[in-house]
């Protein structure tokens, strides 16, 4: 990348991988990371893992896979404008949800509750666990053996207790420093994607309405602009045009604000970035508008009684699967039985976290249903 900024992550000067490998041919180190993620089993499973709606609720709702692709697209657009490494941003975006449980946040909350006496469960840590250990593809090492820069970008949040166990990638949580700008970009691209696409899915499902959303400033402004320019437009095209404009406004604001912060801080290297405050940010005004939208979605979509019903079912499935596997690890597949002997709760959590929505439902039915079935 000829226009790569001096403060960007540079694959030629990566902090490297756990296991030494020959340099890739015809691609850079971050492209190798991206390619390994795309070819991983965990990435394929994202197709059948939920964002808000359980997978079988409908074919047109977002999944973790489509969400990750949308984050990658938004992230690359921001990275290109700011002169940071697009391939690294894309790789982080594609990997950031690899550790998510089935049934979205309801599944994560349930599994965390099950694991409260065994160190807890957090999907960022699980994503790191997937790429460092659980993927079994290569002859010379467990995991995907990805670069330090990719791994630090995946680990967005971490307690001090857990950071002490993670070596180099956990050190910034102890030192209270920042990750690369690429990691910061991927984090905000994630926020832009899920807020706006949850609006789209919420409207498509009928759980929220245009009238309700018209009370939210950022949506109301863009809806009014679309209606003024296209008075005959209605239904899905009206919604898509409004959301498209919202996403564009957020990206433009983020790029302009972040570029100002970068110019003021004048970093000369990625190591300068790590010592500075977070530079990738929205303006104060846009941050408040985003916050209003997030609060609206929490109240009107995520806490909607129909979503809560789905969440309650998900909680029951996860909790009952955990309980039965903890009680009898012989019910686990052979590869999980092997290491359950060393850490039974974590082996059970790894197995459940790796399930898709539909697989978890089928596994629960196989273990708890009385009627005749295929094992």
Distance of CA 234 to the CA centre of its chain: 32
Listed by start position, the domains of the chain span: 11-307, 308-368
The conformational region for residue 145 under phi > 0 = left, psi -120 to 50 = alpha, else beta, is left
Q: What is the pLDDT of residues 86-131, one digit of tens each?
A: 999 999 999 999 999 999 888 999 999 999 999 999 999 999 999 9
Q: Judge contact between 9 and 182, C-beta under 8 A.
A: yes
pLDDT score of 373: 56
86: CB partners within 8 A, 6+ apart: 1, 76, 79, 80
Q: What is the pLDDT of residues 197-219, one digit of tens each?
A: 999 989 988 999 999 999 999 99
Q: What is the pLDDT of residues 353-373, one digit of tens each?
A: 999 999 999 999 999 987 655
Q: For the chain, report the end-to-end CA distance as a whole number of angstroms.
A: 52
pLDDT score of 369: 85
Please state the rounded mean pLDDT for residues 33-46: 97
Q: Which CATH architecture has domain 11-307?
A: Orthogonal Bundle (1.10)
pLDDT score of 61: 66
pTM score: 0.94
Q: What is the spatial distance between Cα 174 and Cα 213, in angstroms, rounded to a whole number?
A: 41
- How much of the chain, in percent, has pLDDT values that exceed 90? 83
Please state the rounded mean pLDDT for residues 259-281: 97
Please state the rounded mean pLDDT for residues 66-83: 97
Assess whether pLDDT exceeds 80 at residue 54. no
Q: How confident is the model at residue 375 (pLDDT cuts 50, 70, 90)?
A: low
């Amino acid at each position: 990348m000829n226009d790569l900024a001096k403060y960007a992550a540079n694959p030629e000067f990566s902090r490297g991988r756990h296991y030494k490998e020959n340099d890739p041919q015809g691609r850079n180190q971050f492209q190798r990371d991206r390619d390994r993620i795309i070819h991983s089993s965990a990435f394929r499973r994202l197709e059948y893992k939920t964002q808000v709606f359980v997978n079988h609720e409908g074919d047109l709702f977002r999944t973790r896979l489509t969400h990750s692709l949308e984050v990658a697209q938004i992230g690359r657009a921001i990275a290109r404008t700011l002169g940071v490494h697009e391939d690294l941003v894309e790789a982080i975006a594609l990997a950031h949800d690899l550790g998510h449980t089935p049934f979205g946040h309801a599944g994560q909350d349930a599994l965390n509750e099950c694991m409260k006496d065994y160190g807890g469960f957090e999907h960022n840590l699980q994503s790191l666990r997937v790429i460092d250990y659980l993927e079994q593809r290569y002859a010379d090492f467990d995991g995907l053996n990805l670069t330090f820069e990719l791994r630090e970008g995946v680990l967005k949040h971490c307690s001090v207790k857990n950071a002490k166990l993670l070596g180099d990638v956990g050190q910034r949580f102890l030192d209270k420093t920042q990750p690369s700008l690429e990691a910061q970009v991927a984090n905000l691209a994630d926020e832009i994607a899920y807020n706006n696409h949850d609006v789209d899915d919420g409207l498509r499902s009928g759980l929220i309405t245009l009238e309700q959303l018209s009370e939210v400033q950022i949506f109301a402004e863009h809806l009014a602009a679309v209606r003024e320019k296209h008075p005959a437009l209605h239904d899905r095209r009206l919604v898509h045009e409004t959301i498209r404009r919202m996403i564009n406004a957020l990206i433009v604001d983020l790029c302009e604000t972040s570029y100002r912060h970068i110019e003021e801080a004048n970093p000369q290297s990625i190591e300068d970035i790590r010592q500075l405050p977070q530079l990738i940010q929205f303006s104060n005004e846009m941050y408040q508008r985003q916050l209003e939208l997030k609060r609206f979605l929490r109240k009107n979509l995520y806490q909607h009684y129909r979503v809560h019903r789905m969440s309650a079912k998900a909680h029951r499935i996860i909790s009952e699967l955990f309980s039965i596997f903890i009680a009898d690890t012989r019910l686990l597949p052979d590869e999980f039985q092997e290491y359950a002997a060393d850490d039974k709760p974590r082996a059970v959590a790894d197995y459940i976290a790796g399930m898709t929505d539909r697989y978890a439902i089928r596994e629960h039915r196989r273990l708890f249903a009385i009627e005749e079935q295929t094992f």
